[in-house]
């Protein structure tokens, strides 16, 4: 258990070189997986596209799990998550947003380029009035993938149909509510030396973030972060707890989700924080945390409220401290 800044500085003498090697390994594996995915797409022209829903059955494939851990490694256990694609777009993409509106109070769909997974745009529940069943986007010619996140989902959950250039390529897909996110309880058991090496550098990067550019830290830690969320993050040591002091107005305007990850970036603790003062359980191993603040669906966006009701997520309205357990 660390209780001295001098001890931490000594550990950095070997942590930084190991983190540098991990970063090289991460970039190499990501390049390899994207290359293999691109080759596979060119060799196998799929015509029966459908949403890929995260589950034990899907994630038993080590390539899929590795692909997730180099594309969106900060796993989101608070939402129903699914992906689709890649597929070719010449002019436009249309999404059956009625399925989204009926399935969740709060949701986001991300459109990404393939194979480099660059975020092109996000569509969210508050992005438009959505007067029509279909929401259409004009896109440059190319290959794209989709990622969907449902928060506050309903009793019946449907993933939307997708129309590309006037042709429906993905049909509406229903999800069994009993199985939603059931795989998460066993996810950390898949951890091994490969995944530890893959994300080992993140812990050290977060320790050293006061000495390196913040944009780089954010790019590594939130590579496909949802633009509709606000984020707070940092390290948490073995034997410590996180203590939260939250402005009540922030709780009224945002859903606040906490995830604590191990050094391989597998979630080990996750839940929604609903009280102004909160302390987590003791963390059993070194790791890092991520706070997702998502605008409450029953409240307007910040630029639509009066100054008296406006609240800005920052280190004053959400204070996070680490507590050592002796």
pLDDT above 70: residue 127: no
Block residue for tokens 């429906």:
168
Alpha carbons 225 and 307: distance in angstroms, whole number = 28
**pLDDT-above-90 percentage for the chain:** 37
Classify burial at 227, counting beta carbons within 10 Å of its beta carbon; exposed 0-12, middle 13-18, buried 19 or more.
Answer: exposed
Task: Please tell me the predicted confidence (pLDDT) of residue 135.
Answer: 86
Is residue 119 exposed (0-12), middle (13-18) or buried (19+ Cβ within 10 Å)? Answer: middle
Average pLDDT over all residues of the chain = 85
Give the tens place of pLDDT for each residue, 280-313. Answer: 999 999 999 999 999 887 765 544 554 555 667 7
pLDDT at res. 264: 93
Helix, strand or coil, per DSSP, at residue 304 = helix
Under 8 Å between Cβ of 156 and 102:
yes
Q: What is the dihedral of CA 259, 30, 63, 162, to 10 degrees?
A: 80
Q: What is the average pLDDT across 230-254?
A: 90
Cis bond upstream, residue 79 (ω within 30): no
- Residue 119: the pLDDT is 84
pLDDT at 326: 47
Question: Quick one: pLDDT band at residue 126, thresholds 50, 70, 90?
Answer: confident
Residue 197: pLDDT above 90? yes
User: Where do the H-state alpha helices sit in 61-149?
Assistant: 62-71, 97-103
Strand order in the sheet with 267-273: 229-236, 287-295, 254-262, 267-273
> Which residues, including other chains, have CB under 8 Å from residue 305's CB and lie 6 or more apart?
299
| Residue 276 CB-half CA count within 13 A | 8
Regarding predicted confidence, which is higher, 236 or 181?
236
Higher pLDDT, 86 or 311: 86
Euclidean distance between CA atoms 256 and 272, whole angstroms: 6
Q: Report the length, in residues, of the chain.
A: 326
Q: What is residue 42's predicted lDDT score, i.e. its pLDDT? A: 74
Mention every residue, 6+ apart, whose C-beta is less than 8 A from residue 117: 34, 71, 145, 223, 224
CB distance 83 to 160 below 8 Å: no
Which domains can be identified in the chain, with CATH numbers?
Answer: 37-182 (2.60.120), 191-324 (2.60.120)
Q: What are phi and psi of 135, to 5 degrees?
A: -110, 120
Q: Is the separation of the CB atoms in 250 and 132 below 8 Å?
A: no
**pLDDT of 46 strictly over 80:** no
Do 113 and 120 contact (CB within 8 A), yes or no? yes
* Least confident range of 212-216, 221-225, 261-265: 221-225
Instruction: State the alpha helices, DSSP H only, in 104-169.
Output: none
Give the three-class secondary structure for 246: strand
Per-residue pLDDT averaged across 143-164, rounded?
91
Sign of the alpha-carbon dihedral angle for 71, 283, 196, 81? negative
Q: Higher model confidence: residue 148 or residue 319?
A: 148
Give the DSSP letter of residue 180. Answer: T
Contact yes or no for 260/176 (Cβ under 8 A): no
The first and second tokens of residue 219, run together, are 């790019």
pLDDT band at 228 (very low <50, low <70, confident <90, very high): confident
Of residues 71 and 304, the one with the higher pLDDT is: 71
- Chain centroid offset of residue 134 CA: 26
Helices 193-207 and 214-221: crossing angle in degrees, nearest 10, is: 150
Residue 84 has phi, psi (to 5 degrees) of -145, 150
What was the pLDDT predicted at 261?
A: 95
Burial class (CB in 10 A: 0-12, 13-18, 19+), 137: middle
Can you tell me which residue has the tokens 């996070």? 320
**CA dist., res. 41 & res. 115, Å (int):** 10
68-92 average pLDDT score: 88
Mean pLDDT value across residues 124-129: 74
């Amino acid at each position: 258990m660390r209780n001295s800044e001098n001890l931490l500085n000594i550990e950095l003498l070997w942590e930084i070189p190991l983190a540098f090697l991990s970063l090289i390994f991460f970039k190499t594996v990501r390049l390899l997986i994207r290359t293999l995915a691109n080759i596979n797409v060119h060799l196998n022209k799929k015509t029966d596209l459908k949403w890929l829903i995260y589950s034990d059955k899907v994630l038993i494939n080590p390539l899929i799990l590795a692909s997730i851990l180099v594309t969106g490694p900060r796993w989101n256990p608070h939402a129903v998550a699914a992906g689709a694609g890649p597929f070719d777009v010449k002019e436009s993409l249309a999404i059956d947003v009625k399925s989204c509106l009926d399935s969740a109070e709060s949701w986001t769909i991300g459109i990404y380029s393939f194979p480099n997974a660059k975020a092109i745009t996000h569509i969210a529940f508050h992005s438009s009035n959505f007067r029509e069943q279909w929401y259409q986007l004009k896109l440059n010619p190319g290959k794209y993938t989709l990622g969907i996140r449902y928060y506050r989902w309903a009793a019946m959950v449907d993933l939307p149909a997708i129309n590309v250039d006037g042709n429906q390529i993905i049909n509406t897909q229903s999800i069994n509510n009993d199985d939603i996110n059931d795989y998460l309880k066993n996810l950390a058991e898949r951890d091994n030396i490969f995944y530890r090496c893959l994300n080992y550098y993140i812990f050290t990067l977060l320790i050293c973030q006061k000495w390196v550019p913040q944009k780089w830290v954010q790019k590594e830690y939130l590579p496909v972060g949802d633009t509709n969320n606000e984020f707070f993050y940092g390290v948490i040591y073995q034997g410590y707890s996180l203590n939260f002091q939250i402005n009540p107005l922030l709780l009224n305007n945002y859903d606040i989700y906490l995830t604590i990850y191990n050094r391989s970036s597998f979630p080990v603790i996750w839940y929604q924080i609903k009280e102004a003062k909160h302390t987590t359980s003791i963390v059993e191993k070194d790791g890092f945390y991520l706070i997702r603040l998502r605008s409450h669906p029953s409240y307007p966006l910040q630029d639509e409220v009066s100054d008296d009701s406006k609240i800005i997520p920052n280190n004053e309205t959400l204070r996070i401290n680490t507590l050592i357990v002796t």
